[in-house]
A and B are shown apart, each in its own frame.
Chain A
Amino acid sequence: MDPLDRVVKPKTKRAKRFLEKREPKLKENTKIAMLIKGGNANLRVTEVKNITRPFEDQTSLEFFSKKSDCSLFLFGSHNKKRPNNLVIGRMFDYHVLDMIELGVEKFVSLKDVKNSKCPEGTKPMLIFAGDMFDVNEEYRRLKSLLIDFFRGPTVPSIRLAGLEYVLHFTAVDGKIYMRSYKVLLKKSGCKIPRIELEEMGPSLDLVMRRTHLASDDLYKLSLKQPKALKPKKKKNISHDVFGTTYGRIHMQKQDLGKLQTRKMKGLKKRPAEKAAEDSGVSPKKSKSA
């Protein structure tokens, strides 16, 4: 048996908490990425024994993922056949789901651009431009993968003035241009501000190389939502094509006899009538009797 597959019984409360944190959850935690340096030419001396090659053998990646509980990975390597290689991928249940190899053709780092930067941990705005991201299956997966990678935590609300980081991906002519900009909000005279962008770095020109995509079955399985998270269907409410809401409500019949009409002295009840009403004989009953 795999040593990681044993029934692990925690001995301390802390160990128990740790294991509980790793269990599958209904509402999942934010995915964590691991960035791995591959068998590089400079590092060959030190790492010659354990060069990882994700496309040939995934077991070491899966082992790392299980150890560190990370489901996203970015693997960088460089060799003669595939220079400046970047493998981006994600895991499902500690197995590789999607993996896409990208070649870096041009790279401008964060330090190369002398501009003001945005603070660390800013939730970026993600924009994908190009029909390729919608037409091609591989590009569609890459888009989903990049969103998964860069979207950060899911938040209920956001400070509007703090939106200052844009990641823009453009797919043209078999190349993907990744650019990051700092957003400057300018006054426009109306409620919506005018946007000006400023190059911030890092920016990359990427080409797609090999891909390893999950089969449709597995991908569908990974998308499956637990039943408890699905929104409950509300009864008696329906919508039509225009978005109008229809509902069915149940009301009791209004008693028109008690309707308050215009107040006049002539319509006032005499004390005898009032007493008869108070005694509780409703007109319906008197009819049947």
Chain B
Amino acid sequence: MYTQGLDQQGSQDNTEHANADREREAAFQARIDGEEKIEPRDWMPEAYRKTLVRQISQHAHSEIVGMLPEGNWISRAPTLKRKLILMAKVQDEAGHGLYLYSAAETLGTSRADMVDQLLDGRAKYSSIFNYPTLTWADVGAIGWLVDGAAIMNQIPLCRCSYGPYARAMVRVCREESFHQRQGYELMLALCRGNDEQKRMAQDALNRWWWPSLMMFGPSDNESRHTAQSMAWKIKRFSNDELRQKFVDTTVPQAEYLGLEVPDPDLAFDEESGHYRFGAIDWEEFFAVLKGNGPCNRERIEARRSAHEEGRWVRDAARAYARKQAKRAAAQAA
């Protein structure tokens, strides 16, 4: 009797909770529909919080891992000016990583936890960075195509419903569009150069084109997260819409460079005003996602070894800070 009574009591509580949750969720959705920003102290559904932590931390990890393929060419940049531009760019990526980690921290997950998740393989980062940078032209192709695709994805995020993320993205987008122009300018210099340089540029486009299209994620009917993220206004356009926009913008840029887009099915459709493009090899996409891209292991190993080799430095900094605090306390006493 007694236990049954408790059970009944409990289920009544649960119903009340469920009702309260439904009301809060409705109020939350109403704020989102009214284009209000959600701030860290506001109530939010757990799933909203989880989705954002996943997305923002993935984005931060992508910035950090993305430093590796480009950093690969810092020591070999062909002029001092190009070396400066590349170093400054890679530094910007580190900066983006830092403020994205900060934005994610406002949701109650620490940067240390997020980094652990990256290092032990639980968290993902953009698959594009699992491709190698084989020639100097790859530095240009990354700026032009990868940053170009990133901007398409990220500009709508400046209006994302979560305030700290939206605000971080305003600055990220400004810098990314600068990087995109620098990358294109690098490609232009190669395409106006000698035959060997043009060959380098074409080879880079051949290798980076399809992975860039894959950056927008699976096709809309395959994408697991799209519908809910759209309702929450974390996402504003579907993967396929953004991919189409990228193709429409980028193909004329390739033509201006005098490069050939490696897609025999690519054609301009007068009626719709869009470029129609060939089928994406999703098997390759999922293979890279699974860890079998050309550089997945190398990228994670590089981050792990930086983390491991830096452990004694971080320990020393903490030990020194403790000593200093003790000294200050002793002096005050």
Q: Do A and B come from one complex?
A: no
Q: Which residues of A contact B (CB under 8 A)?
A: none
Hey, which bits of chain B sit against chain A, CB under 8 A?
none
